[in-house]
Chain A
Amino acid sequence: MTALPLVLTVFVACAVEAIEALTIVLAAGLTRQWRSTFQGMAAALLVLAAVVAVLGPTITLLPLGVLRLVVGAVLAIFGLQWLRKAILRASGNQALHDEASAYLREVAAAQAAPVSARCGVSDWYAFTLSFKGVLLEGLEVVFIVITFGDNQRDLGAAVVGAAIAVVAVAVTGIAVRAPLARVPENAMKFAVGIMLTSFGTFWGAEGAGVRWPGGDAALLVLVPVVAVVSLGYVAWLRRYRAGGAGQPARTPVPESGGVTG
Chain B
Amino acid sequence: MLRALKSLGAFWYDFVIGDDWRVAAIIVAALGLTALLTHVARITAWWLVPVAAFAALAWSLHRATSRKS
Q: Which residues of A contact B (CB under 8 A)?
A: 69, 72-74, 76-78, 80-81, 83-85, 87-88, 91, 93, 139-140, 143, 197, 201, 204-205, 207-213, 218, 222, 225-226, 229-230, 233, 237, 240-241, 246-251, 253, 256, 258-260
Contacts and interface: CB of A to CB of B under 8 A. Distances in A.
A230 B18 CA distance: 18
Given A78-B16, A201-B50, A212-B46, A88 B69 contact: no
Closest 5 CB pairs of A and B: A81-B18, A209-B38, A208-B35, A208-B34, A249-B69
Most chain A CB neighbours (cut-off 10 Å) among B14, B45, B46: B46
Instruction: Give the size category of B's interface with A.
Output: 35 or more
Given A246-B66, A258-B19, 16 more contacts: A88-B65, A201-B49, A204-B49, A205-B49, A207-B31, A208-B38, A210-B44, A211-B46, A213-B46, A218-B46, A222-B50, A225-B50, A229-B57, A237-B61, A248-B65, A259-B11
Contacts, number: 124
B61 A139 contact: no
A73 B35 CA distance: 13
A69 B28 CA distance: 10
Contact of A81 (B19, B34, B49): B19
B66 A247 contact: yes
A205 B16 contact: no
A93 B31 CA distance: 30
A85 B55 CA distance: 16
B53 A80 contact: yes
B65 A241 contact: yes
B53 A258 contact: no
Contact of A88 (B24, B50, B61): B61
A85 B57 CA distance: 10
A73 B34 contact: no
B58 interface: yes
Nearest to B52: A201
Contacts of A246: 66
B32 to A, nearest CB: 8
Nearest to A240: B65
Contacts of B56: 80
Contact of A205 (B17, B31, B66): B31
A80 B14 contact: no
13 contacts: A77-B17, A80-B53, A81-B23, A84-B18, A84-B20, A204-B27, A209-B39, A210-B38, A218-B46, A249-B64, A249-B65, A249-B68, A259-B11
A233 B18 contact: no
